[in-house]
Amino acid sequence: MLTSNISKSFSIVTILLVLQAFYYTTKAQNCGCSSDLCCSRFGFCGNTSDYCGVGCQQGPCFAPPPANDVSVAEIVTQDFFNGIINQAASSCAGVGFYSRGAFLEALESYSRFGRIGSADDSRREIASFFAHVTHETGHFCYIEEINGASNDYCDENATQYPCNPNKGYFGRGPIQLSWNFNYGPAGSAIGFDGLNAPETVATDPVISFKTALWFWTNNVQPVLSQGFGATIRAINGALECDGANSATVQARVRYYTDYCRIFGVDRGNNLTC
């Protein structure tokens, strides 16, 4: 998902295929679960948090924790946003694309972002999100992954989200959404054709931010209590964690630490992965 990672190793492909194989060999496909089982966000039946937690589509889904009254807009001020994007060169495509207004409009569809737990928890979550966004996009410079079109991000085992052979599912947007198994469900949740028009993430700034918030709330928000290091693992773990690329891990930590300082909140424990 990193803009700076031009090529993907065989190891990450293998890991992703294994994960996909797990999702596609569980009890049932595309829901149709019995009344005592949950339908997960991937369309399979079960009764654990993987099925009944975040993204649960139907059944005895776990109730989410209550949202607090934190105003994300009051934390993500124009000055804060400008402090990030002003570090990008004026020639960067993202300078004319990303904006605080687009972020706040996208945020209207994700009312739980930055509003779980205490006020300090909210500030840490927002700092974490923008730390990753800053790193992934080079201070909002990049909309698309560098040389992303030359890489194959089609997982043919993800048969629920078949690839269009004429489209590329490389990194786009603030979190650099990648792979057909992300574009497909993101498009369904947000309301665009992720499989047949993935380029929408690079042409519509509100949808672009929505994909980042969709990925965040489904894949990153559930591990926030484990510390910033867990968020790195959720986003790009196989390429960076466990010594794979300590320099990029430390870069993310520096951004996070800086934003926590700006927001006046302790950064917490377990910063690396």
What are the two backbone dihedrals, phi and then psi, of residue 58, each rounded to the nearest 5 degrees? -165, 165
Considering Cα of 188, then 194, then 197, then 203, what sign does the dihedral take? positive
* DSSP string over 49-116: HHHHSTT--BSSPPPPPPB----HHHHS-HHHHHHHHTTS-TT-GGGGT--HHHHHHHHTT-TTTT-B
Q: Give the model's pLDDT for residue 143.
A: 98
Helix (H, G, I), strand (E, B) or coil at 45: strand
| CA–CA distance, 188 with 185 (Å, rounded to integer) | 5
* Single pTM value for the model: 0.81
Cβ count within 10 A of residue 226:
15
CATH of residue 226's domain is 1.10.530.10
Instruction: Of 105, 98, 38, 94, give the one whose Cα is nearest residue 72.
Output: 105
Cβ count within 10 A of residue 77:
12
Does residue 153 carry a pLDDT above 70?
yes
Pair (43, 96) in one structural domain: no
Asked if residue 168 is part of any domain, the answer here is no
- Show the tokens assigned to 235: 């986003």
Pair (111, 135) in one structural domain: yes
Amino acid found at 139: H
Does residue 192 carry a pLDDT above 50?
yes
Does residue 68 carry a pLDDT above 50?
yes
Q: Give the model's pLDDT for residue 27.
A: 35
Q: Band of the pLDDT at 46, cuts 50, 70, 90?
A: confident
Does residue 239 carry a pLDDT above 90?
yes
Average pLDDT over residues 162-186: 97
Q: What angle do CA 99, 228, 108 make, to 5 degrees?
A: 35
Does residue 178 carry a pLDDT above 70?
yes
Mean of all residue pLDDT scores within the chain: 88
Pair (55, 109) in one structural domain: no
Residues 62 and 46 sit within 8 Å (Cβ to Cβ): no
- Total count of domains within the chain: 2
Pair (130, 37) in one structural domain: no
Tell me the residue range of the domain where 223 lies.
72-144+204-263
What are the C-alpha distances in Å from 232 to residues 4, 199, 256?
A: 15, 25, 11
Asked if residue 176 is part of any domain, the answer here is no
Helix (H, G, I), strand (E, B) or coil at 246: helix
Average pLDDT over residues 148-172: 95
Q: Which residues are catalytic?
A: 136
Q: Give the model's pLDDT for residue 25.
A: 32
Asked if residue 42 is part of any domain, the answer here is yes
CATH of residue 50's domain is 3.30.60
pLDDT digits (tens, 9 = 90+) for 76-131: 999 999 999 999 999 999 999 999 999 999 999 999 999 999 999 999 999 999 99
Average pLDDT over residues 240-259: 97
Q: What angle do CA 97, 101, 105 make, to 5 degrees?
A: 105
- Show the tokens assigned to 204: 């519509």
Q: Report the relative pairing of strands 38-39 and 45-46 from DSSP bridges.
A: antiparallel
